[in-house]
């Protein structure tokens, strides 16, 4: 198995409010596509599983697919500029050299992988503007080895890893009398070929002496410096060059930006990131993982080359049933058994739609056409999906191909269809502990006809008493659910599998009248009982669509 060249997965996903068919078909088709292409195809779910589907996955030991709630492009779909972080103790000179080598204007300052700050060309320019501050090296706690490096010198004596923590930078260019007025203990003294000035620095107990022009240093001076733990640095540069270069030794932590950093995470959506970027004038923005570790930079230019998520849709082709952001994704295939609807794609796709009772039937056909054997686990899933969608072959949507496929799959999986169906439907109608809102939207699909948006939920059961209990929970909640989801109408099917009939609950302006007229029911009927109506897809939705189009 391999991933695509860009490292992305192809997602296989069903509709929102997923049912057994959409989940099981996604799992089995992802397996088939992976075997056919060698590229990793990953099943996903677009919502919370219902009880029936959870039972099926648990029974056959299948892991619940991860949630895919949005197909919009995320930062993880953008190619980052990967830059190694530098430590805060690194000198400005070293940071500047690395920026030139990498041709970048921002460097991350990290510690154990975590972002501490950012150093930019602008920050380095600021370090030169502070050249008149003679105490800046000690304020910044500059390391002596950085000072030696900045002035092209070497440490002759003293601890190169220690820090200049007090005092100022001074140049011994005057007489001993004048030096006594401004050179103090712990200062950094820049001297030339003047043994008297070197000795004065020792006597004044400065922190560091920088000797220019590689001037000789007497052994007695070195010995005294060692005794007093004074650092001595010898450099080939002249005094002017040393004075000009020495600020480059300041550690980047002193000038880096560390407050108010604008960072993003890999799961952030590009649309949201663009809005933030539009309000900021930064060139590069750091990307962190969930633990705060630095991963790389993005810029506005890199967002122009976003890679869309690649997805295969199963068991739906209606936009309002699809994962949010599907219009921004690259839809590769659609495998479905419903009416044609509103999914639009940027280019041609493989689209397979057959008038059968279940998407799983089509998936099984595709296994057969490719001459790939279905393993027992996937066979059990596909069989369960057909049982669910066809109400164990009682639904008018069921075709001979559905039933034949289910029985073949049952033999492969070693399961008894009747026993499995009873367990599945019992699990699906056992809604103890569920709120009215959860029950309403366990198996719910939304449709649009002209300007009317309506939704249809359904619960199947082999027990009339169980359906009566569900009705008492759902009916008082329907109007609230309609308003909260901005729907014009809601219809809820309480389907009795044994009696092969459904009681229809509804709310919304003219919802009841539309049903009465569409099914030619008595106007004074109390309960909307629809004899022989068990299929939402084939018996209810087409009738509603026709009624709303009149």
pLDDT digits (tens, 9 = 90+) for 234-288: 999 999 999 888 888 888 888 888 888 899 999 899 888 888 888 887 888 999 9
What does the pLDDT look like over 40-89, one tens digit per residue?
A: 999 999 998 988 999 999 999 999 999 999 998 888 888 888 999 999 88
What does the pLDDT look like over 83-123, one tens digit per residue?
A: 999 998 889 889 999 999 888 889 999 999 999 999 988 88
- Residue 6 pLDDT > 70, yes or no? no
- In the chain, CATH 3.10.310.20 sits at 436-549
| pLDDT average, residue stretch 181-191 | 89
In the chain, what percentage of residues exceed pLDDT 90? 56
Q: Quote the pLDDT of residue 131.
A: 57
- In the chain, CATH 3.90.1640.10 sits at 10-73+308-428
CATH of the structural domain 10-73+308-428, one choice from 3.90.230.10, 3.60.15.10, 3.90.1640.10, 3.40.50.300: 3.90.1640.10
- Residue 498 pLDDT > 50, yes or no? yes
Helix (H, G, I), strand (E, B) or coil at 93: helix
Mean pLDDT of the chain: 90
Paired tokens of 55: 């039972």
β-strand partners of 251: 91
| pLDDT average, residue stretch 440-448 | 88
CATH of the structural domain 436-549, one choice from 3.40.1280.10, 3.40.50.1360, 3.10.310.20, 3.30.465.10: 3.10.310.20
Paired tokens of 455: 């939704």
Q: Give whole-number Cα distances, 138 to 167, 231, 251, 254, 255, in Å.
A: 6, 14, 11, 11, 14
- In the chain, CATH 3.40.1390.20 sits at 92-255
Separation between Cα atoms, residue 251 and residue 163, nearest integer Å:
11
- Residue 446 pLDDT > 50, yes or no? yes
- Residue 391: how many CB atoms within 10 A of its CB? 21
Q: Quote the pLDDT of residue 454.
A: 95
- Residue 330 pLDDT > 80, yes or no? yes
What does the pLDDT look like over 128-163, one tens digit per residue?
A: 765 567 888 888 899 999 999 999 999 999 999 999
What does the pLDDT look like over 349-382, one tens digit per residue?
A: 899 999 999 999 999 999 999 999 999 999 999 9
Identify the residue with better confidence: 136 or 529. Answer: 529
The top-level CATH class assigned to 92-255 is: alpha beta
DSSP secondary structure of 108-172 = EEEETTEEEEEEEHHHHHHHHHTTT-TTHHHHTTEEHHHHHHHTT-EEEES-TTSEE-S--EEE-
| pLDDT average, residue stretch 7-17 | 87
């Amino acid at each position: 198995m391999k991933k695509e060249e860009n490292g992305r997965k192809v997602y296989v996903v069903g509709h929102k409010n997923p049912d057994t068919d959409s989940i099981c078909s996604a799992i089995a088709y992802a397996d088939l596509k992976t075997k056919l292409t060698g590229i990793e195809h990953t099943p996903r779910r677009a919502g919370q599983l219902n009880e029936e589907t959870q039972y099926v996955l648990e029974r056959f030991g299948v892991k619940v697919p991860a949630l895919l709630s949005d197909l919009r492009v995320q930062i993880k779909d953008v190619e980052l500029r990967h830059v190694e972080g530098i430590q805060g103790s690194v000198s400005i000179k070293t940071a500047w050299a690395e920026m030139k080598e990498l041709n970048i204007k921002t460097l991350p300052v990290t510690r154990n992988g975590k972002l501490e700050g950012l150093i930019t060309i602008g920050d380095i320019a600021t370090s030169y503007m502070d050249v008149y501050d003679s105490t800046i090296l000690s304020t910044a706690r500059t390391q002596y080895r950085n000072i030696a490096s900045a002035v092209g010198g070497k440490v002759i004596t003293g601890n190169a890893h220690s820090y200049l923590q007090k005092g100022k930078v001074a140049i011994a260019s005057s007489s001993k009398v004048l030096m006594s007025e401004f050179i103090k203990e712990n200062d950094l003294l820049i001297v030339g070929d003047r043994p008297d000035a070197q000795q004065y620095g020792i006597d004044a107990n400065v922190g560091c002496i920088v000797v220019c022009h590689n001037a000789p240093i007497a052994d007695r001076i070195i010995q005294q410096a060692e005794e007093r733990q004074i650092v001595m640095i010898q450099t080939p540069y002249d005094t002017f060059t040393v004075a000009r270069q020495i600020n480059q030794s300041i550690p980047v932590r002193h000038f880096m930006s560390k407050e108010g950093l604008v960072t993003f995470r890999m799961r952030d959506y590009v649309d949201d990131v663009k809005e933030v970027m539009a309000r900021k004038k930064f060139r590069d923005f750091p990307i962190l993982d969930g633990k705060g570790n630095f991963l790389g930079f993005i810029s506005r230019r890199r967002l122009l080359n976003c890679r869309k998520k690649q997805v295969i849709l199963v068991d739906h082709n209606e936009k309002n049933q699809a994962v949010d952001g599907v219009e921004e994704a690259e839809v590769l295939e659609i495998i479905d058994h419903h009416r044609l609807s509103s999914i639009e794609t940027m280019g041609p796709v493989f689209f397979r739609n057959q008038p059968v009772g279940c998407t799983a039937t089509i998936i099984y056909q595709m296994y057969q056409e490719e001459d790939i054997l279905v393993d027992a686990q996937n066979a059990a899933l596909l069989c369960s999906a057909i049982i669910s969608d066809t109400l164990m072959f009682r639904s008018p949507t069921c075709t001979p191909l559905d039933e034949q496929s289910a029985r073949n799959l049952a033999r492969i999986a070693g399961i008894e269809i009747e026993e499995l169906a009873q367990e599945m439907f019992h699990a699906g109608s056992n809604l103890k502990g569920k709120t009215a809102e959860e029950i309403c939207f366990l198996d719910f699909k939304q449709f649009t006809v002209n300007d009317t948006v309506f939704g249809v939920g359904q619960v199947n059961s082999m027990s009339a008493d169980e359906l009566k209990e569900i009705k008492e929970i759902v009916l008082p909640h329907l109007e609230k659910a309609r308003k909260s989801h901005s729907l014009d109408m809601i219809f809820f099917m309480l389907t009795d599998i044994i009696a092969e009939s459904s009681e229809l609950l509804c709310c919304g302006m003219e919802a009841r009248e539309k049903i009465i007229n569409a099914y030619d029911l008595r106007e004074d009927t109390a309960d909307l009982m629809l004899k022989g109506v068990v299929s939402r897809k084939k018996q209810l939705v087409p009738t509603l669509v026709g009624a709303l189009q009149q």
